[in-house]
């Protein structure tokens, strides 16, 4: 029997390097800081780490504005530090996934600097999207940046360049073979250095169509693509289907080439996961066809309400859609671009939902700090650094709240993260969330995650698909309960504010909170909690 690829049902821990651990006291996390705490990551029970960008960058967008994708930014260390991190991770049995940013470069990348000095129509400008102004002097079209404001910036000779994000992030022209060749060099560079896979930023955005045409509702489109949890999904989804620069068919040709490159490394089992926000959901399965990428993020859980019908629909649909292409889903409750799940749906609810999804088939992604139950950091506007905050003149607060550094130990902020001043302030109230405190508390979120991930490996990996027992489509208590059986384990989540009795057999393995009682031969599941039972 062939062994399943390592990534099939892996648990992957996302590290935002600037916020993990500062080794030199400058207030910003770095690669040596990550390396020094990989034992903590290993003890959590994960299989791999995903590193958000640590490449050379002016850091106008949290490192996603890359000036040199084949080097380390001095704020994080150097290439030797990257090699050491990868070596230590591998010695601990941890795989390493690097973040790659193929949609755009920083305006400080030498290609863009060359383009600014070059003439109209030059090979240097052909690497990006440079166009002449309209006859009235306006930009080539009315597209709006996802960070607010126009998606075009004018240069000295009158031409405009396209940037779907900040003006410091010019979009690359993937119709130019030079672009693909350069990124293949980047992929090979990091694979040869030892990385085991890639998270592909804006994976759905590389190919643009109808660049000289206006969009019928640019402002509505901009609002839709903020990934704002407060926006009506129906409105966002309807607009997503009209986007001329997301989820175009041409992106799949790019990833077929990349898949051949990954497969050329044989038993290294190099994988890639796509950040692709698309609609309708079936479109996401195109990214994980047999000759393309290995995984695609399921973003629906990042915005899903803590309601049985909503969660059932998201989970059941994702499993069934992935089955059509013989793939497994991915499950993520938080990341660096979204509100932390504890703030979005509540602390107890976040614990319950995490335990619920840890039992599902596929890979689970954990954003560093999620295992501590961290909420979003509360920040003054003067602390904010997200470009979307500045481009919208404060209308959008941005993503900084999810990026506040981790609390490690001690009684006062910044709780061991740094000996200097942290790049974003850490509230004194976060003492209760420190790693040191949670290690000592058997009821802590950290203790729950460690216990659950051990049990996940023991009982869930390779256990096949789920059988729904309680859901909006099954059972009479579906408004309060979601339950499924997978292998020898039954997973029950009570979404109501009151304890609920249900018929379930087996020994209690783990509960997200509260005490599971028995009454009249039934198990009583605490409010807003999830439990696992072993038959």
201-236 pLDDT, tens digit each:
999 999 999 999 998 876 666 665 554 445 567 766
Mean residue pLDDT of the chain comes to 93
Percent of the chain with pLDDT over 90: 81
Alpha-carbon span 416 to 437, nearest angstrom: 12
CATH superfamily of this structure's domain 110-162: Oligo-1,6-glucosidase; Domain 2 (3.90.400.10)
Rounded to an integer, the average pLDDT of 396-414 is 93
Cite the active site residues: 201, 275
CATH superfamily of this structure's domain 11-103+178-452: Glycosidases (3.20.20.80)
Q: Which helix (H) or strand (E) holds 357?
A: helix 347-358
Task: Kindly report the pTM of this predicted structure.
Answer: 0.94
Give the pLDDT confidence score for residue 473 in this predicted structure: 67
What are the start-end ranges of the H helices in 417-483?
Answer: 435-440, 445-455
53 touches 67 (CB < 8 A): no
Rounded to an integer, the average pLDDT of 141-165 is 93
Question: What are the start and end residues of each CATH 3.90.400.10 domain in the chain?
Answer: 110-162
pLDDT in tens, 317-369: 999 999 999 999 999 999 998 999 999 999 999 999 999 999 999 999 999 99
Q: Which helix (H) or strand (E) holds 14?
A: strand 11-15
Checking if the pLDDT of 486 tops 50, the result is: yes
Backbone phi, psi, residue 532, to 5°: -115, 135
Q: State the number of CA atoms in the 13 A half-sphere of 231 facing the CB.
A: 19
Question: What are the start and end residues of each CATH 3.20.20.80 domain in the chain?
Answer: 11-103+178-452
Checking if the pLDDT of 149 tops 90, the result is: no
Give the pLDDT confidence score for residue 217 in this predicted structure: 74
Rounded to an integer, the average pLDDT of 147-162 is 94
CATH superfamily of this structure's domain 466-534: Golgi alpha-mannosidase II (2.60.40.1180)
- 241-279 CB burial, b ≥16 within 10 A, e <16: eebbbbbbeebbebbeebbeebeeeeeebbbbbbbbbbb
pLDDT in tens, 91-139: 999 999 999 999 999 999 999 999 999 999 999 999 999 999 999 999 9
Give the pLDDT confidence score for residue 227 in this predicted structure: 45
Alpha-carbon span 148 to 236, nearest angstrom: 16
Question: How sure is the predictor about 241, in pLDDT bands with cuts at 50, 70 and 90?
Answer: confident
Note the Cα 289 to chain centre separation in Å: 21
Question: What are the start and end residues of each CATH 2.60.40.1180 domain in the chain?
Answer: 466-534
Our CA dihedral for 259, 262, 264, 269, rounded to 10 degrees, sits at -120
């Amino acid at each position: 029997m062939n062994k399943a690829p390592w990534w099939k049902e892996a648990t992957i821990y996302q590290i935002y390097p600037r916020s993990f651990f500062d080794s030199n006291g400058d207030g910003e996390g770095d690669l040596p800081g990550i390396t020094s705490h990989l034992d903590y990551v290993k003890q959590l029970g994960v299989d791999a780490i995903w590193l958000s960008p640590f490449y050379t960058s002016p850091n106008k967008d949290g490192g996603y504005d890359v000036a040199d994708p084949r080097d380390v930014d001095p704020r994080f260390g150097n290439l030797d530090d990257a090699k050491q991190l990868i070596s230590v991770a591998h010695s601990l049995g941890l795989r390493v996934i690097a973040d790659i940013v193929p949609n755009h470069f920083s305006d400080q990348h030498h290609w863009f600097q060359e383009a600014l000095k070059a003439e109209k129509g030059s090979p240097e400008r052909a690497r990006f999207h440079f166009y002449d102004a309209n006859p009235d002097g306006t930009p080539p079209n009315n597209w709006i940046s996802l960070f607010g404001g126009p998606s075009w910036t004018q240069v000295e000779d009158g031409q405009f360049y396209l940037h779907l994000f900040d003006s410091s992030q010019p979009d690359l022209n993937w119709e130019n073979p030079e672009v693909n060749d350069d990124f293949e060099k980047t992929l090979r560079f990091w694979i040869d250095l030892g990385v085991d896979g890639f998270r592909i930023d804006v994976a759905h955005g590389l190919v643009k169509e109808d660049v000289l045409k206006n969009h019928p509702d640019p402002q509505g489109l901009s609002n839709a693509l903020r990934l704002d949890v407060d926006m009506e999904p129906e409105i966002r989804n309807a607009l997503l289907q009209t986007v001329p620069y997301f989820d175009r068919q041409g992106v799949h040709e790019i990833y077929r080439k990349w898949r051949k490159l990954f497969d050329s490394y044989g038993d290294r089992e190099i994988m890639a996961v796509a950040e692709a926000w698309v609609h309708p959901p079936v479109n996401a399965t195109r990214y994980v066809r047999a000759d393309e990428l290995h995984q695609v993020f399921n973003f629906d859980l990042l915005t899903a309400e803590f309601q049985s019908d909503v969660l059932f629909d998201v989970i059941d649909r994702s499993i069934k859609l992935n089955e059509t292409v013989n793939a497994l889903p991915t499950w993520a409750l938080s990341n660096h671009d979204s509100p932390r799940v504890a703030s979005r749906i509540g602390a107890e609810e976040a614990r319950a939902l995490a335990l619920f999804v840890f039992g599902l088939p596929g890979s689970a992604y954990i954003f560093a700090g999620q295992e501590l139950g961290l909420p979003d950091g509360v920040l003054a506007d003067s602390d904010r650094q997200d470009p979307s905050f500045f481009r919208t003149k404060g209308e959008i607060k941005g993503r900084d709240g999810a990026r506040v550094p981790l609390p490690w130990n001690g009684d006062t902020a910044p709780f061991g993260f740094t000996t200097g001043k942290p790049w974003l302030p850490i509230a004194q109230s976060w003492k209760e969330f420190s790693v040191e405190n949670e290690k000592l508390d058997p009821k802590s979120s950290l203790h729950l995650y460690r216990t659950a991930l051990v049990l996940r490996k023991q009982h869930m990996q390779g256990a096949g698909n789920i059988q729904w027992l309680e859901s909006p489509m099954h059972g009479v208590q579906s408004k309060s309960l979601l339950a499924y059986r997978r292998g020898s384990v039954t997973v029950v989540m009570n979404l109501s504010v009151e304890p609920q009795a249900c018929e379930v057999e087996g020994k209690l393995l783990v509960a997200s909170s509260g005490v599971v009682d028995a009454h009249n031969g039934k198990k009583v599941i605490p409010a807003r909690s999830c439990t696992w039972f072993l038959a």
